[in-house]
Amino acid sequence: MNTVWTWQTQLDRSPGDDVIGYGVEAADGSLGTVIRLSPVAGFDHLVIDAGVWKFGRSVVVPAGLVTAVDDVERVIQVGCTKDQIMDAPRFERDQDTGDLFYLRGLGAYYETLATTPE
């Protein structure tokens, strides 16, 4: 069973795949640009600069919510809305994305949004 922290198998991705600089599209529009990847094994995620959209705020999106990756266009699709992402536990730009307390809370939030692939 996949968790929100694991890349969906149909994407054929691994945690080391470099997607820094890719644009990110939520279900309802552009979210921002990938600026960092997860430094913590078992908690694969993207740190996205959503600055243009939400006043310099960065957000963390677990890899399991990625629904498509277009390497030619350098765009990642995620299976949730911008509001759902902005309602997630807040991430501060200086925060260590290796903070397991933060990641566990974030995972609990996103697991309520995760859907089973059809």
106, part of any domain: yes
- ∠ CA 32-14-3 to the nearest 5 degrees? 80
116, part of any domain: no
For the segment 38-67, the average pLDDT, to the nearest whole number, is: 81
94, part of any domain: yes
Taking all residues of the chain, what is their mean pLDDT, rounded to a whole number? Answer: 81
* pLDDT at 101 (0 to 100): 84
For the segment 67-73, the average pLDDT, to the nearest whole number, is: 92
89, part of any domain: yes
77, part of any domain: yes
Banded pLDDT at 73 (limits 50, 70, 90): very high
Which distant-in-sequence residues (6+ apart) come within 8 Å of 46 by Cβ?
A: 19, 24, 34, 36, 37, 38, 60, 61, 63, 66, 76
Q: Using an 8 Å Cβ cutoff, are 33 and 50 in contact?
A: no
Q: Considering only residues 41 and 60, tell me which one the structure prediction assigns the higher pLDDT.
A: 60
9, part of any domain: no
* pLDDT at 14 (0 to 100): 67
59, part of any domain: yes
pLDDT tens, residue by residue, 90-102: 876 556 666 788 8
What CATH number has the domain bearing residue 58? Answer: 2.30.30.240
5, part of any domain: no
The number of domains in the chain is 1
The domain containing residue 87 runs over which residues? Answer: 19-110
